[in-house]
Amino acid sequence: MMRKLLTLLLLVTGAFATAQEITVAAAADMSAALPELVTAYTKKTGQAVKLSFGASGNLTNQIRNGAPFDLFFSADEQYPQQLIAEGLASKDTLYRYAIGRLVLWVPSGSPLDLSKLGIQALLDPSVKKISIANPATAPYGRAAEATLRHFGIYNQVSSRLVVGENISQAAQFVESGNAQAGLLALSHALAPAMKDKGRYWTVPLDAYPTLNQAAVVLSKSKQQDAARRFLEFLRSPEATLLLTSYGFSLPAEKR
Amino acid sequence: MNWEAFWLTVRLAAIVSTLLIAIGIPIAYWLTYSRWRWKFLVEAAVALPIVLPPTVLGFYVLVALGSRSPFGRWWESLTGHTLAFTFEGLVIGSLLYSLPFAVQPFAASFGAVDSTLLRASASLGQSPVQTFRRIVLPLSKAGLVTGFALSFAHTLGEFGVVLMVGGNIPGVTRTISIDIYDQVQTANYSSANQTALVLLFISFVVLSIVYGVNRRAWAVGPWR
């Protein structure tokens, strides 16, 4: 009896919720910035936005298999392009909302002098494990791999790499002290949860292909207009200011 | 088919189920014969991994065995590395994860031994340990096989804990379930399918052994 009532309650509230909410699938590097953007947006417009984070590749695969998302914020541009090519996203909505930055991050207690050593810090014997995101599904993982190859140290460190399912898990591996260094998203390094817990060195932009983070409205969304409006908000000065405070640079200021 | 991941997983499952025989028998012995009134609390604790999400276990293993915890520091000073992202770390996580799948069938079969046999053995001057070794253990063969096979199969299919503490290192912590997950996430469905089929087949064989061994002893399942 109780269970039936609960089920009914869930069904009813669920039905109401989907009528107005939009659901956003977003790259894990947005896990700190996007909730803030949503809070500001909801306050302004009353529009509720549900967020679902993961590796961009995983989310793309979920979208291919019918996941009920309205909008997709990728950490690169390839995944949205693939979805457009497959007819699963609208080309005219494709928008580069930010350029992501990769950083080398170590916990506060680490003896490594990042400003002096830069990427070479990874060769220090005290670094037993280096966490990166999964290059197969996460753009930040691919950027990390490209960086290690760019500096010619990939073969020296490859046996010490531990792979997070997405960039948030990679961050959590170092933050929890289980890995001694990580190639993470700048947006995580600047997020309140990690800001005071470590130091970082920003990987130069020429070390990896630019992380042009693009968003796109999905074709199967039943709330095309609401989704487009949220995407429009991303271009507002308020939104771009917040994104830059998380270390994202904006496509316009691309060097 | 990723054979490296396959053999790694088989090795993990074999080590864990073998260790669980050694760890599980004393626990099951105590659970069967203890008259302590709070015994039910220990029974509940042993059964916890059945109901707990693997993420809870994974979280605790990562934090409690990490370099911030006393145990983690002790382990690090001993071995020079943290437990997470290592094969030993997976063994420890899996021991916890599969514990009830060994202990419960063990305890059930110990408890099913006719108590008149135990009294007869005692009256003939055998110590409790001798009675256990000579009467209870031989009569519990089916339960021991069941516990071994179930914990083996359960470890074979472990996913959440490995995802959280493994770090997906080929040849060290990339188990077969993680490999399938990666294949699916990168849309290599045919490769995922092959591996999944192998796992399905092995799991069926192992469970068939369990139910085959128990077909006389139990009508439905191996648990009490």
B180 vs A: CB within 8 A: no
pTM comes to 0.82
In a domain, B89, yes or no: yes
* CA A47 vs CA A26, A43, A97, A224: distances in Å: 18, 8, 20, 13
Q: CB B185 to CB A128 under 8 A?
A: no
The reported pLDDT for the residue numbered A253 is: 46
Residue in chain A nearest B76 by alpha carbon: A178
In a domain, B13, yes or no: yes
Q: CB B66 to CB A178 under 8 A?
A: yes
In a domain, B72, yes or no: yes
Phi, psi of B34 (to 5 degrees): -70, 145
- Which helix (H) or strand (E) element contains residue B50? helix B39-51
Q: Which of A160, A165, A167 to mutate: most B Cβ within 10 Å?
A: A165
List, in sequence order, every residue forming a beta bridge with A69; answer none if it has no partner. none
Q: What is the CATH number of the domain that holds B173?
A: 1.10.3720.10
The better pLDDT of the pair B8, B63 is held by B8
In a domain, B224, yes or no: no
Q: CB A129 to CB B186 under 8 A?
A: no
Could you give the residue ranges of the DSSP H alpha helices within A111-153?
Answer: 114-117, 139-150
In a domain, B176, yes or no: yes
Instruction: Encode pLDDT of A171-208 as tens digits.
Output: 999 998 899 999 999 999 999 989 999 999 999 999 99
- From chain B, pick out residues whose CB is under 8 angstroms from the CB of A177: 66-68, 72, 82
**Range ranked top by mean pLDDT from B13-17, B31-35, B90-94:** B13-17
Rounded Cα distance, B138 and B125, in Å: 19
The reported pLDDT for the residue numbered A85 is: 97
In a domain, B219, yes or no: no
Least Cα separation, residue A154 to chain B (angstroms): 15
The reported pLDDT for the residue numbered A16 is: 47
Write the ipTM. 0.72
- Other C-beta atoms lying within 10 Å of the C-beta of residue A1: 5
The reported pLDDT for the residue numbered A6 is: 55
Q: Give chain A's domains with CATH numbers.
A: 2-99+212-253 (3.40.190.10), 100-207 (3.40.190.10)
Question: What range does the domain containing B61 cover?
Answer: 3-213
Mean pLDDT over each residue of chain B, to the nearest integer: 89
Residues 6+ apart with CB under 8 A from A108: A196, A197, A198, A199
The residue ranges of chain A whose pLDDT is under 70 are 1-19, 252-255
Query: Do the beta carbons of residue A75 and residue A167 sit within 8 Å?
Result: yes
Task: State the average pLDDT over residues B200-224.
Answer: 77
Please tell me the total count of domains within chain B: 1
* B187 Ramachandran zone, left/alpha/beta (phi>0; psi -120 to 50): left
Instruction: Encode pLDDT of B56-115 as tens digits.
Output: 988 888 888 777 788 888 888 888 777 888 899 999 999 999 999 999 999 999 999 998
The reported pLDDT for the residue numbered B186 is: 81
The better pLDDT of the pair B124, A9 is held by B124
pLDDT at B185 over 70: yes
Could you give the residue ranges of the DSSP H alpha helices within chain A?
Answer: 2-20, 33-45, 56-64, 78-85, 114-117, 139-150, 154-157, 167-175, 186-189, 192-195, 224-233, 237-245
The reported pLDDT for the residue numbered A48 is: 94
Task: Say if residue B157 is exposed, middle or buried (CB neighbours under 10 Å; 0-12, 13-18, 19+).
Answer: middle
DSSP A123: G
In a domain, B147, yes or no: yes
> What b/e string do you get for B87-120 counting C-beta neighbours within 10 Å, with b at 16 or more?
bebbbbbbbbbbbbbbbbbbbbbbbbbeeeebee
